[in-house]
Each structure stands twice: as C-alpha cells, then as structure tokens.
Homo-oligomer: A and B are copies of this chain.
Amino acid sequence: MNNPCFNIAAVERDTGLSKDVLRMWERRYGFPVPERDANGERSYPAAQVERLRLIKRLMDMGHRPGKLLAMPETDLASLAPRRPAPRSATGQDDGELAELLTLVKQHDAHGYQRAMQQRLARQGLQHFVQDTVAPLTRRVGEAWEDGSFEVFEEHLFTELTKRLLRQAIAALPGATRGPRILLTSVPDEVHVLGLLMAEALFALEGAECIPLGTQMPLLEIGRAANAHQADIVGLSFSVAFPQRRIPALMQDLRQLLPASVHLWAGGNGVQRLGSIEGVRLLTSLDDALGALAAWRAAAAG
C-alpha cells in the first residue's frame, strides 16, 4: 500500500483535533473510521484526514460538529464556499486589494512586498494601516474560510505583512511624548497582526509602545506592566478567540493591575462584546486613536 497513513498523534498534529475528540467522534458519530495497523492501532488514510481538516474548518466558521459529521461528503463540500457577499466594495481600491491577494495566491513574495512597499510610500503609514493592511487582513480571513486560501498561503501573507509593519514601525522616530503602552495578547491567542497595526498607529502618535509578542500569561502581564511602568495595557483578540472567555479574562487581569493603569482590548474578537467594567473596548482602529486622544486629554487635565 503506497497510500500514506497517519497514526492518531499525526492526525492530532495536522488537524488540531485532540486524540480524545477523534476517538469520541468515531464512537459517537461513526466518523472517522480509521483502519488498524498490525498492533491494532488506528491508522487514518489520507482521505479521512483531508475530510477532517475540512470539517475543522467548517467548525471554525460556526458549524456544529454533530451536523457536519452526519453529512455525506458531497453536502460537506457544498457548505464550504458559502460567502454571503457583504465584502467591503469600495470600487477601485477593492480591485487593488484583490491584486495584492492575487500576488500572495501566486506565491510571489517579492512582488507582494514590492507592491506593499509602494503602497506604504504612497499612502503613508497611517492610511496604509487603515486602508490597506486592515481590509487585506479581513479579506485573507474570508478567503481562508471559503477555502480559496491554503493554510500555508495565509502563513506567508502573515509573515510578509508582519515584516512590512515592523519595518515601518522601526523607521519611526523613537518618541517619548505619549503614554507608555504595553501591547500583548493572552495565552491561546496567537494572532499578532492586530497588535502590530495598533502599535503602528500609536507609535505614529508618539506613544511609547512596548511589544511583548503574543501569549503572555496574565500574571506575567501584571509583572510586565509594573516593571515597565506602563500607563496602558493593550490586548488584542482575534475572531478565532472564544468570545465568552473574554469578559472573565479581562476582569481577572483588571484585578492584577493597579487602578491607575488603563486596560484596553481591541481586535475583531471584541466587536460584538458588551461593555466590561474597567476596560476600554476598542471597536476599530479609529476608536483606538480616539482612546489615545482621550487618555492624553485626561492626563493633561
């Protein structure tokens, strides 16, 4: 048999579904049904792994496992390309963004970087962040959801875009005028582009940003805020982060920080959230700038 087969650990790695879940689904829903190797251990054919990946993707889009696992293969495929159309359609710019996406899709890293550099030069950092990077990121998320972007294409996009933003940030004069803002994310939240966009805008305004990367344990965020004498702690939540966990998390963190330290939370993950005591929710990049202006007004007054 030259079909490659995967043991349960390999499937866990590649799909992100835990061994417990894989065995549970087999028991409850009758899928996947792996073959068994000489030792009686599960051995998943590539086709089943492929289907599991599709199911995982649909689950991330909000579908429920029970339904998906009961479906025949064909119905599954028909669910995938469901894109309800309300893509931001601003005419000309829309086409240019599509071109940028095409470059990534064609794996033309150099072309993408060149095009983005040009755009950055033309628009300036602030408009570049707000009118290019932000919508592009949303587009990539959509494309990934409807299956027109592979995982590795999304990784490439993220990696290249991170570089552009960091480079632009590094080129800014090191300002010391504004508040000190500590930027990071909580454990299980790995997305960093939102943080970088915020950092770029804050740095442009002359604030002093302290970037700690992603996945900081809460206790460590508290210590870091203290050590750096931060005025503001800014967290980012992507849409992929379970929203219901956010309020409790933020309240825990609020208690770890001195009352004088402001706590901000932004990113697409906080859009639909109700207000949280002691936390400023940033609903957009504009709102983030507004929050900074308000902080300064309060500090001056």
Contacts and interface: CB of A to CB of B under 8 A. Distances in A.
Interface of A: 4, 6, 10, 13-15, 49, 53, 107, 109-110, 113, 150-153, 155-156, 158-160, 162-163, 166-167, 169-170, 174, 184, 186-188, 210-213, 216-221, 223-224, 227-228, 252, 255-256
A158 B212 CA distance: 8
B156 A210 contact: yes
Given A4-B255, A166-B166, A10 B218 contact: yes
B155 A212 contact: yes
Contact of A213 (B155, B213, B255): B155
B152 A212 contact: yes
Nearest to A210: B109
A156 B252 contact: no
Contacts of A160: 211
B213 A158 contact: yes
A223 B187 contact: no
B223 A159 contact: no
A152 B218 contact: no
B216 A155 contact: yes
A114 to B, nearest CB: 8
23 contacts: A13-B187, A14-B187, A14-B218, A14-B220, A53-B219, A107-B210, A107-B227, A109-B210, A113-B170, A150-B223, A151-B216, A151-B220, A152-B212, A152-B220, A152-B221, A152-B224, A152-B227, A155-B184, A156-B211, A159-B213, A162-B166, A166-B167, A167-B170
A79 B41 CA distance: 39
Contacts of A109: 210
A101 to B, nearest CB: 15
Given A163-B166, A167-B170, A216-B151, A13 B223 contact: no
Contacts of A110: 174
Contact of A217 (B14, B211, B223): B14
A217 B186 contact: no
Contacts of A169: 163
Contacts of A152: 212, 216, 220-221, 223-224, 227
Contact of A159 (B53, B155, B211): B211
A212 B159 contact: yes
A126 to B, nearest CB: 20
A16 B244 CA distance: 21
Contacts of A167: 166-167, 170
Interface centre among A15, A49, A152, A224 (most CB of B within 10 A): A152
